Amino acid sequence: MFYRETGQFKTSYAADQQIFPIRQDRIGVILLLLVAFIVVPLVAGNYWFNAILIPFLIFSLAALGLNILTGYAGQLSLGSAAFMAVGAYAAYNFQVRVEGMPILVSFILAGLTAAGVGILFGLPSLRIKGFYLAVATLAAQFFIVWCLTKFPYLSNNSSSGVISVPGVEMLGFKFDTPQSRYLLVLTIVVVLALLAKNMVRSTTGRAWMAVRDMDVAAEVIGIRLMRTKLLAFAVSSFYCGVAGAMYAFLYLGSVEPDGFSLDLSFKILFMIIVGGVGSVLGSFLGAAFILLLPIFLDISLPALAAALHLPFDGATVSHIQLMIFGALIMFFLIVEPHGLARLWQIGKEKLRLWPFPH
């Protein structure tokens, strides 16, 4: 009844081609942004900013990066954490070695550095596909972490290889409160997410999807495989790199190469699998699911155990939390193999028909 596009006539090409062609979607997105930019900073506490919202946004961006590569261009990658590491260390080096480097420029350069490395490790994708490519990107994962540990120059000769980043400052304004950091992260993520949303429906995005669906056919209709695949690697790594730089500068404040382990790559991969492969929204839903559900279980289980007088100690709760988490992942994958984003889409289709079933 409310969610229906009937009566919305497009009278110009511009109106027809906007990112959200349905008016209700536009209103929804604007409302969501208003809540994120205005309401949340007013009501959320420090814990919410530091432990939930900032990591959620950063990992959404990383998942979005991987989703561009895996979901849209069909190139399976296990190197996302490594590209984040490149971004984090690159931003650190630009910031420490170049006097007066603006932080946003550092982030962009970090993304570009990661994009360069991504192209390099994307080269095997021209010859190998599927699971074999995943193994090739695994090499990136190990090589980059090794490289950052091996060469002290990259960590500015820190004796332990751990980098501790300088404070974030922009035009004299210090981003030292959780609110200000959150707003900075949010702005960057919103801009990049809108860019991605736009990109995947452009010629580039369509070329990626053509390659994903069948690369021989894509080549036949005139899509240059090399350019398309490498571009996907570059854009994906750019997103991961910016996410990595923010992870170091706006979230943890200090990172070590071992922190960007294969585990983290898997985590990002699970985010897009649970959230929805080939969906911008799915990256956000997946990041929320993988990051927030364990925290929620962690906080609610002891309270539940206490309420029911169950003799659980901390370790048991952690084990149970892992079991529930695993079970929920399986549940969602069985019920909806296309991820949470698909559930949302089904919901929208139902809404269109509501209140009539047919």
Partner 1 sequence: MVNKYKQLAIAASVAAACLGVTLPSAQAAEEQFFMLPSYRVGPYGANGQSWYGGFIDYLSYVNMKGGIDGVQVTWDECETEYNNAKGVECYERMKAKAQKAPGPIHVMSTGISYALVDKTAADKLPLAMMGYGLTSAVDGSVFPWAFPLVTTYQMQASAIIKFLKDRNNGSLAGKKIVFLYHDSAYGKEPILALQAESRLNKYSLIEIPVAHPGNEQGAQWQRIRQENPDYVILWGWGVMNMTALKTAQKMGFSREKMVGGWWSGSEEDVVPAGDAAKGYMSATWNVSGKNVPLIADIEKTVYGGGKGNLKDTSKLGTILYNRGVSAAVLSVEAIRTAQARYGKGKAMSGEQVRWGLENLNLTEARLKTLGATGLLPDVKTSCNNHEGSGKVKMQQWDGTKWVPLTDWIEGNKALIHPLFQADAAKYAKEKGIKPRDCSKEK
Q: Which of residues 227-286 bind partner 1 (CB under 8 A)?
A: 251-254, 256, 258-259
The residue among 18 and 164 lying less far from partner 1, judged by its C-beta, is 164
Q: Which of residues 66-85 bind partner 1 (CB under 8 A)?
A: none
Among positions 21, 130, 167, 347, the unique one binding partner 1 when judged by CB under 8 A: 167
Is residue 180 within the footprint of partner 1 (CB under 8 A)? Answer: no
Here the contacts of 351-357 (C-beta below 8 Å, separation 24 or greater) are: 351/2, 351/3, 352/3, 352/4, 352/5, 354/1, 354/3, 355/1
Measured between its terminal Cα atoms, the distance across the chain in Å is: 13
**The tokens of 292 are what?**
């927030």
Tokens standing for residue 139? 């090499």
Enumerate residues 6+ apart whose C-beta is below 8 A from 348: 3
| C-alpha to C-alpha distance for 112 and 241, rounded to whole angstroms | 8
Task: Mark the segment that binds partner 1 (CB under 8 A) among 64-72, 112-120, 159-167, 339-347.
Answer: 159-167
- In the list 166, 326, 337, 347, the residue contacting partner 1 (rule: CB under 8 A) is 166
Residues 292-311 within binding reach of partner 1 (CB under 8 A): 295-296, 298-300, 303
Does residue 132 belong to the site contacting partner 1 (CB under 8 A)? Answer: no
Report how far apart, in Å, the C-alpha atoms of 317 and of each of 88, 113, 296, 306, 322 are.
34, 42, 12, 11, 9
Q: CB neighbours of 134 closer than 8 A, spacing ≥ 6?
A: 76, 77, 78
x/- track of binding to partner 1 for residues 320-349 (CB under 8 A): --x---------------------------
18, 24, 164, 345: residue in contact with partner 1 (rule CB under 8 A): 164
| Binders of partner 1 in range 24-53 (CB under 8 A) | 39, 42-48, 50-52
